[in-house]
Amino acid sequence: MDRLTKPKMLPCSHQFCEECVKQLVSMCKSYLCPTCRVPFREPEGKQPRGGTMTTTVMPNSLPGYEDCGCITIQYTIPSGTQGQEHPNPGKAYSGESRVAYLPDNEKGRLVEKLLAKAFDRRLIFTVGRSLSSGRDNTIVWNDIHHKTNMDGGPERYGYPDPDYLDRVLAELKNQCITE
């Protein structure tokens, strides 16, 4: 590393150029120290405000998790007008309701807790082009995968998928969402 211009000390005590930290955030969407991977800021996403996330527990089991119930997550994002952080500021976007499923076990409850934290930080959804419908200016997922079917395997975004909980925990960690 060269001499630091405008050095910025991160909470972990590593130092970087202020401009380098800004580039890390804007280009890589990362809030992790490049040296030790400790978060230096809580990220906030581009999910429109005003949505809700509610969870319920059902006695139904999911394939691969027959020994426990099922956590159902209901997301609702109302229609609105795009802000400056969205692709078409001032233009309307269509809202969405989505349902996702987790096993009601220790790891599933942890994922649900972390998804709630990610939702509060506006990281679950954004406004964009839907790959499934081809519609523009609509609510779309934002890099944190969800199981939207109870069954059908990974091909249908359902269970069984034995590695899913570990993958989503890694995705959440990449967004600085940890316990």
**Domains assigned to the chain:** 1-41 (3.30.40.10), 52-174 (3.30.390.130)
The runs of H, that is alpha helices, within the chain are 18-28, 106-120, 164-174
Q: Using pLDDT thresholds of 50, 70 and 90, give the confidence band for residue 178.
A: confident
Q: Which two tokens stand for residue 107?
A: 């790891």
CA distance 43 to 171: 13
| pLDDT of 58 | 96
The per-residue pLDDT for range 115-174, each reduced to its tens digit, is 999 999 999 999 999 988 899 999 999 989 999 999 999 999 999 999 999 999 999 988
- How far is residue 148 from each of residues 42, 61, 97, 100, measured CA to CA in Å? 27, 15, 11, 4
Are β-strands 7-9 and 69-77 bridged in parallel, bridged antiparallel, or unpaired?
A: unpaired
Please provide the average confidence, as pLDDT, over all residues in the chain. Answer: 91
- What is the model's pLDDT at position 2? 62
pLDDT in tens, 51-68: 999 999 999 999 999 999
Is the bond preceding 89 in cis, omega lying within 30 degrees of 0? no
pLDDT at residue 32 is higher than 90: no
